[in-house]
């Protein structure tokens, strides 16, 4: 795991500072509307929400979500504003329960498993990541104005159920503009005076 640091020997300028910077980058979990967060097919109700937590706490293996009827999991994640999603970390066990694929959808609230037949905005093949070190960069152009993110994990590495300990979301958040909700109510009934068509008399002077 010597590579995990990303700097050579002798260049370590107090790793605490670097960890703090890195942790701040993964702060989008603070921008999730937890009242409306959904995890479909979770074995224990409410467990899906526990995987969205501070980057520094990703190693807490007491908090995880496990799928119930089969290996699929689907998260519906509403944000409290507009998000530009730049990267994702998915941490699981170093065994067959680790998800093997992740599909991301944007701005489809209340997605169900039926909806996952749609084409995803982006699909990733996942590697087993028991330490939460692998970052999957998103196509930022597709995820630059996200108010709702759905994450579908269709399969794992061969186990009956899927287990996830931590999901990290990296990106930028901007406050939602409340005034966009106002629908401008223009004149409901058309005023015929506005729509008088000039009577156009066809000109019949043909030049031969």
Mean pLDDT of 11-17: 57
Helix (H) or strand (E) segment spanning residue 189: none
Evaluate if pTM is beyond 0.75. Answer: yes
pLDDT at site 199: 53
Q: How far lies 132's CA from each of 75, 76, 85, 98, in Å?
A: 19, 21, 18, 12
Is pLDDT above 70 for 78? Answer: yes
Lookup: tokens for 70:
């089969």
Asked if residues 91 and 165 have their Cβ atoms less than 8 Å apart, the reply is yes
Q: Which residues have CB under 8 Å from 63's CB, separation 6+?
A: 47, 50, 51, 53, 165
pLDDT at site 204: 53
Asked if residues 83 and 52 have their Cβ atoms less than 8 Å apart, the reply is no
Q: Is 107 left (phi over 0), alpha (psi -120 to 50) or beta?
A: left
pLDDT at site 95: 98
Mean pLDDT of 174-200: 56
Confidence of residue 12 (pLDDT cuts 50, 70, 90): very low
pLDDT at site 23: 74
Q: Which residues have CB under 8 Å from 59's CB, separation 6+?
A: 131, 132
Lookup: tokens for 192:
């015929």
| pLDDT tens, position by position, 156-169 | 999 999 999 999 99
Give the dihedral of Cα atoms 170, 97, 126, 18; nearest 10 deg. Answer: 40
Is pLDDT above 80 for 149? Answer: yes
Residue range 20-175 in CATH 1.10.15.40: no
pLDDT at site 193: 53
Residue for token digits 């068509």?
197
For the chain, which residues make up each domain, given as ranges? 20-175
pLDDT at site 151: 98
CB neighbours of residue 77 within 10 Å: 25
Lookup: tokens for 5:
């640091």
Mean residue pLDDT across the chain: 85
Q: How far lies 52's CA from each of 6, 49, 139, 151, in Å?
A: 24, 6, 21, 13
- Dihedral sign from CA coordinates of 138, 139, 145, 148: negative
pLDDT at site 74: 98
Find, among 69, 78, 76, the residue nearest to 112 by Cα: 76
In three-state secondary structure terms, 39 is strand
Is pLDDT above 60 for 64? Answer: yes
pLDDT at site 2: 43
Is pLDDT above 70 for 6? Answer: no
Residue for token digits 């909806």?
115
| pLDDT tens, position by position, 79-135 | 999 999 999 999 999 999 999 999 999 999 999 999 999 999 999 999 999 999 999
Is pLDDT above 50 for 50? Answer: yes
Find, among 74, 69, 64, the residue nearest to 95 by Cα: 64
């Amino acid at each position: 795991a010597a590579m995990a640091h990303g700097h050579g020997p002798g260049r370590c300028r107090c790793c605490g500072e670097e960890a703090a910077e890195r942790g701040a980058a993964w702060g989008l979990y603070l921008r999730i509307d937890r009242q409306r967060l959904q995890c479909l097919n979770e074995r224990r109700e409410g467990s899906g929400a526990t995987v969205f937590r501070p980057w520094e706490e990703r190693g807490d293996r007491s908090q995880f979500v496990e799928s119930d009827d089969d290996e699929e999991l689907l998260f519906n994640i509403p944000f409290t504003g507009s998000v530009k999603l730049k990267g994702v970390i998915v941490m699981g066990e170093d065994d067959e329960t680790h998800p093997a694929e992740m599909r991301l959808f944007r701005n489809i609230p209340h997605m169900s498993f039926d909806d996952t037949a749609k084409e995803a905005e982006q699909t990733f093949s996942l590697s087993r990541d028991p330490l939460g070190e692998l970052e999957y960069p998103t196509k930022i152009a597709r995820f630059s104005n996200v108010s709702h993110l759905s994450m579908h994990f269709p399969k794992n590495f061969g186990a009956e159920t899927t287990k996830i300990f931590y999901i990290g979301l990296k990106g930028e958040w901007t406050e939602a503009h409340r005034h966009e909700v106002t629908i401008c109510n223009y004149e409901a009934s058309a005023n015929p005076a506005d729509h008088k068509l000039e009577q156009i008399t066809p000109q019949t002077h043909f030049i031969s």
